[in-house]
């Protein structure tokens, strides 16, 4: 090990590198390109993963949206085409009977699925907006970004309070810039509601910025919906098989609503978990591809170093013969060649990491943060970068063994004869 720190050894190495500058440069570029691609690809894949994470961070990703439609098969004396409505009791039943479910959030809305939106008045301004009846638990499946005030709480539900949370756009349209909406009142569908909070679209909600939330119980009371609910969001535990949950839930609902078990159209759903799993799978695939391509390129680069050194050794046969006649032991010779290989790979590797990092910084500043393209903070972990350098050193020394072994396998006498 001592010889690594021997300045004479390094002088020998620099001597032989200086002797063939062009070849050394080309060799270094081979490995540099390999690790550069490796780092850039890995960083880009990471950026994409981060981007998707950011897109979906406000959502319970393992979830289903479920609503009632009309039957398509006759059953138990009922004709086909019967309109179904989800009930509050369904929510409780599902919650009890499917153990994989974390929670079920019933929701209702005016002005999205047919029917006129809610009329909203303030002073002389009058407009229409989507009106949602919700539980506080909505926060768990699709986070509401509160700007000021608060969201609906349990107390609001229990007391059927006339309070509302309004979107940014509603604020813009109904209030002057210097007015504070929280604490003020709005007339919604003819009755007055106190504003307790304002919110901003989180990027994934279909409420947008131009909706109004009121407590579910209040919604039910003013719209006279009784036990009916609009639709529900079912969130399963993280590891649960979301497709099975969907099937189980539908089986229960069909039974409860006297629907034929083969009637696939009675209840509609959108399986968000399934879609998310596909995206996750896609990102995983890209990551795998990145590793595969990156490592392959790296190996190709290192092999290039090995073959170049093999040529160098052949060219230097005579020199090696002289050195051995002068008293160089085989391990002197081997050590020098292996160290030369490691040194070249290391320099190339570090340069490659630096260039890769620069490219990632440039990509980050041009692409990231832009809308519509999921790409955030493309980085490579320090341990991975260090690991790559270590792998290079290992590959470099392993591949260096081949020319080194060749160099000492030639007997000095033959080496000296080689002119």
Partner 1 sequence: MIKIENLHKSYPMGKESLHVLKGLNLHIKEGEFVSIMGASGSGKSTLLNIVGLLDIHDEGAYYLNGQLIEKLDEKKAAVLRNKFLGFVFQSFNLIAYKTALENVALPLYYKGVGRKERQEIAMQYLDKVELKDWANHLPGELSGGQKQRVAIARALVTQPKVVLADEPTGALDSTTSNSVMELLKEINREGMTVFVITHEEEIANDTDRIVRLRDGVIISDEKVKKNINV
Judging by DSSP bridges, how do beta strands 163-167 and 191-200 pair with one another? parallel
298 vs 31: CA distance, rounded Å:
6
Residues interacting with partner 1, by CB under 8 A? 7-8, 15-16, 18-19, 318-319, 321-332, 408, 411-413, 416, 419
Pick the closer one to partner 1 by CB: 287 or 406.
406
Query: 381 by DSSP, 3-state: which?
Result: coil
CB environment 77-115: b (16+ within 10 A), e (fewer): eeeeeeebebbbebbebbeeebebbbbbbbbbbbbbeee
From the CB of 6, what's the least distance to partner 1, in Å? 10
From the CB of 304, what's the least distance to partner 1, in Å? 24
* CB 243, CB 41: distance < 8 Å: no
From the CB of 375, what's the least distance to partner 1, in Å? 50
Biggest CA-to-CA distance, the chain: 108
Pick the closer one to partner 1 by CB: 11 or 70.
11
From the CB of 333, what's the least distance to partner 1, in Å? 9
From the CB of 320, what's the least distance to partner 1, in Å? 10
Judging by DSSP bridges, how do beta strands 145-149 and 211-215 pair with one another? unpaired
124 vs 288: CA distance, rounded Å:
60
From the CB of 370, what's the least distance to partner 1, in Å? 54
Pick the closer one to partner 1 by CB: 261 or 329.
329
Pick the closer one to partner 1 by CB: 191 or 318.
318
For 314, counting Cβ atoms within 10 Å of its Cβ (0-12 exposed, 13-18 middle, 19+ buried), the class is: middle
Pick the closer one to partner 1 by CB: 16 or 269.
16
**CB-hemisphere CA count at 13 Å for 71?**
20
Pick the closer one to partner 1 by CB: 8 or 371.
8
Query: 315 by DSSP, 3-state: which?
Result: helix
For the chain, the helix, strand and coil percentages under 3-state DSSP, each to the nearest 5: 55, 20, 25
From the CB of 336, what's the least distance to partner 1, in Å? 11
From the CB of 414, what's the least distance to partner 1, in Å? 9
CA 62 to the chain's CA centroid: 14
Pick the closer one to partner 1 by CB: 177 or 326.
326
Pick the closer one to partner 1 by CB: 70 or 329.
329
Tokens at 311, concatenated = 């040529």
């Amino acid at each position: 090990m001592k010889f690594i720190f021997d300045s004479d050894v390094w002088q020998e190495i620099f001597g032989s590198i200086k002797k063939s500058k062009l070849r050394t440069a080309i060799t270094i570029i081979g490995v540099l390109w390999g690790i550069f691609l490796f780092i850039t690809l890995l960083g880009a894949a990471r950026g994409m993963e981060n981007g998707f994470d950011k897109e979906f961070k406000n959502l319970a990703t393992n979830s289903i949206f479920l609503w009632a439609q009309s039957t398509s098969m006759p059953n138990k004396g009922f004709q086909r085409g019967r309109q179904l409505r989800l009930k509050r009791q369904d929510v409780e039943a599902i919650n009890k009977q499917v153990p994989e479910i974390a929670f079920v959030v019933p929701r209702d809305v005016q002005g999205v699925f047919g029917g006129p939106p809610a009329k909203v008045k303030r002073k002389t301004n009058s407009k229409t907006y989507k009106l949602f009846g919700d539980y506080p638990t909505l926060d768990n499946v699709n986070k509401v970004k509160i700007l000021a005030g608060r969201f609906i709480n349990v107390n609001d539900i229990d007391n059927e309070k006339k309070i509302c949370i309004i979107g940014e756009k509603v604020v813009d349209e109904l209030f002057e810039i210097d007015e504070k909406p929280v604490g003020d009142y709005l007339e919604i569908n003819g009755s007055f509601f106190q504003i307790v909070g304002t919110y901003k679209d989180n990027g994934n909600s279909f409420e947008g910025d131009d909706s109004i939330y009121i407590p579910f119980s209040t919604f039910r009371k003013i719209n006279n919906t009784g036990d009916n609910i609009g639709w529900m969001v079912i969130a399963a535990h993280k590891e649960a098989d979301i497709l099975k949950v969907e099937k189980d839930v539908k089986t229960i609902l069909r039974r409860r609503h006297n629907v034929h078990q083969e009637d696939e159209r009675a209840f509609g759903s959108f399986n968000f978990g399934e879609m998310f799993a596909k995206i996750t799978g896609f990102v995983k695939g890209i990551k795998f591809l990145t590793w595969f391509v990156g490592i392959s390129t790296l190996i190709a680069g290192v092999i290039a170093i090995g073959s170049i050194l093999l040529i160098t050794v052949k060219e230097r046969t005579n020199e090696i013969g002289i050195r051995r006649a002068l008293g160089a032991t085989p391990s002197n010779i081997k050590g020098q060649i292996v160290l030369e290989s490691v040194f070249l790979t290391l320099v190339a590797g570090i340069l490659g990491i630096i260039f890769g990092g620069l490219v990632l910084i440039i990509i980050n500043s041009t692409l990231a943060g832009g809308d519509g393209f999921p790409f955030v903070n493309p980085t490579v972990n320090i341990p991975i970068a260090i690991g790559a350098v270590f792998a290079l050193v290992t590959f470099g020394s392993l591949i260096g063994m081949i020319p080194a072994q060749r160099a000492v396998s030639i007997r000095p006498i033959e080496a000296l004869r080689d002119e």
